[in-house]
Structure 1
Amino acid sequence: MATKRLTFGYSPCPNDTFMFDAIARGTVGIEGWRIDPVLHDVQTLNNLALEAALDISKLSFYAWMAVKDTYRLLSSGGAMGFGCGPVLVARKPLKREQIRDCRVVLPGAWTTAHLLFRLWAPDADQRFFVPYDHIFETIDSGQADCGVIIHESRFTFEEAGFRTIVDLGAWWEEQTGLPIPLGGIAVKKSLGDALFDQIDGAVNASIRQAMGDPDAALPYIRQHAQEMDAAVLKAHIHTFVNDFSLDSGATGRKALDVLESMAKTAGVL
């Protein structure tokens, strides 16, 4: 009997390659199924989810709000926590009231970073998008006055000479007291409940395997990492992989509900 295939989209960022290394290597899987990793930046993954192109996919929670009829969220594999939100940066100081007149570059229209920025600065309408790893150069080229950074850029922007205008994750925490819900793993509803549960189990097992033997995932992480500095890789993984990655739980679900409610109230969903 031929093995059936599942496509699994996630990003090349260290937190994802760390969590899903065991699946990529085949040490964790689902009997009778072949799981094929498909790696893209977060906005590409969001766009693919809008097209229902992948069976399983990491996606921004903002994007998930738009595909709820097609996809169902796993309880494991997400990016959520405290002190891990996107940051608005610039070369020079800017006050909040100045942002409405600034050209702002962001890492994708359906990223949670974009949603949080729109909630914080609803009047800032000079927004445009580039892949997350081109934010710095877009500001330095003069095309943008400031930009929202995510992923490993959070750990390198000060060394690169940028300054914080606002930490959107810290702002969220001050507003809600909840962890910042950035992204999760979604599974096509058409795959059915039984396979959904098997996928959730495989994702959880892959994360636990990585947590139990972090060094085993390093070759896969380094194969895809934008930032190769060991300290940055370690900080990135430690920041974005936590107990919420194993199970978003009631607190995580509440955080996502609050974010969706705020998006609807603000008219951006």
Structure 2
Amino acid sequence: MNIAFSPCPNDTFVFHALAHGLIPGAPELKVTYADIDITNRLAAASQGPEVLKISYAALPWVLSEYALLPCGGALGRGCGPLVLSKGSSDPASLAGRRVAVPSERSTAYLLFRLWAAQNVPGGVGEMVVMPFHEIMPSVRDGQIDAGLVIHEARFTYPSYGLDLLTDLGSWWEADTGLPIPLGAIIARRTLDLGALTGWIRASVEYAWAHPEASRAYVREHAQELAPEVTQAHIDLYVNEFTANLGEDGYAAVTALLARAAGEGLVPAVDPAALRLPL
């Protein structure tokens, strides 16, 4: 079975057991490691593997062919994207400014647009899409006015001399009371989705039960992150929602996509389409 997920520590931690043949009955996996903007495009073009990790923001474009699985993804609290600048912590300073974003089909982007509509008088200026690893250096060097960052940037942005304009996760949680939907696991609707869900959930549970087993695999793909940053990343993004979305998880996804559709950012989604068929 072909699967694509990111090389980030949370994904390699979650899928280690499945990718290494440690889950009884599961098929052999052929893994492609790709950033989420690449998997978003593959899924939207119907050219992706059978199973992919994509952004929840990309779901509205792919639900006709792919189903959302209720495990393996990333939702949580205290783990939202950040908006960073240099020399300012006032959201109003973004009015008319250039802001770098890693993707326009990401939860981070949707949260930023929803937040900016409430907090930036007159709106921001140009949105510049650039690779994630270039955003903080570009803000630091004055090539861009502010940057929208995700993942390990939560732990490393002070080393770039940057200031926090807002934590979009904290804003979302205060506004809705719900966790932040970040990365979704989707699978082609032609697959045995029940069996696949069981295998992925078993891989999550194996990772928790045997954390030492995946360390070398995680480190291999961790892009030179310090061990303490890698562990903090896993602790933050692998949680109860990774094992099971549950009602709060589905409510969070529904709320995000409904608000984004209301702003014209994504197509409208029937909430029933987010659940696996019985």
Is the TM-score greater than 0.5? Answer: yes
Provide the aligned C-alpha RMSD in A.
Answer: 1.4
Shift of residue 151 of structure 1?
1.0
Residue 97 of structure 1: how far off its partner (Å): 2.1
Counterpart Cα distance in 2 of 1:224 and 1:100: 38
The answer to whether the 8 A contact 1:58-1:186 is kept is yes
Which letter does structure 1 place at the counterpart of 2:173? E
Tell me the TM-score normalised to structure 1 length. 0.92
- Give 1:75's aligned residue: 70
Instruction: Give, as a single letter, the amino acid of the residue that structure 2 aligns with 1:38.
Output: T
Confirm whether residue 131 of structure 1 aligns to residue 106 of structure 2.
no
Equivalent residue for 1:239? Answer: 236
Unaligned 5+ residue runs, structure 2? 118-122, 267-278
Structure 1 residue runs without a partner (length 5+):
1-5
Q: Does 2:6 align with 1:11?
A: yes
Match of 1:56 in 2: 51
Q: 1:216 and 2:198 equivalent?
A: no
Whether the 8 Å CA contact 1:23–1:29 is kept in 2: the answer is no
Deviation at 1:214, TM superposition (A): 0.7
Q: Following the alignment from structure 2 to structure 1, what is the Cα–Cα distance between the partners of residues 183 and 68?
A: 10
> Secondary structure at 1:139's aligned position in 2?
helix
2:78 partner SS: coil
One-letter amino acid of the counterpart of residue 222, structure 2: A
Structure 1 stretches of 4+ with a deviation exceeding 3 A read none
Whole-Å separation in 1 of the counterparts to 2:65 and 2:24: 23
- The Cα shift of 1:70 comes to 1.4
Q: Which amino acid aligns with 1:244?
A: F
Identity %: 37
CA displacement, residues 146-201 of structure 1 (integer Å, 9 cap, x when unaligned): 1011111111112332111000000000110111111110011132xxx1111111
- Shift of residue 124, structure 1, vs aligned partner: 2.1
Aligned positions, number: 260
Alpha-carbon contact 1:14-1:237 (below 8 Å) kept: yes
SS across alignment from 1:34: coil
| 2:33 partner letter | L
Corresponding residue SS for 1:259: helix
* Aligned partner letter, 1:217: S
CA distance in 2, matches of 1:160, 1:137: 7
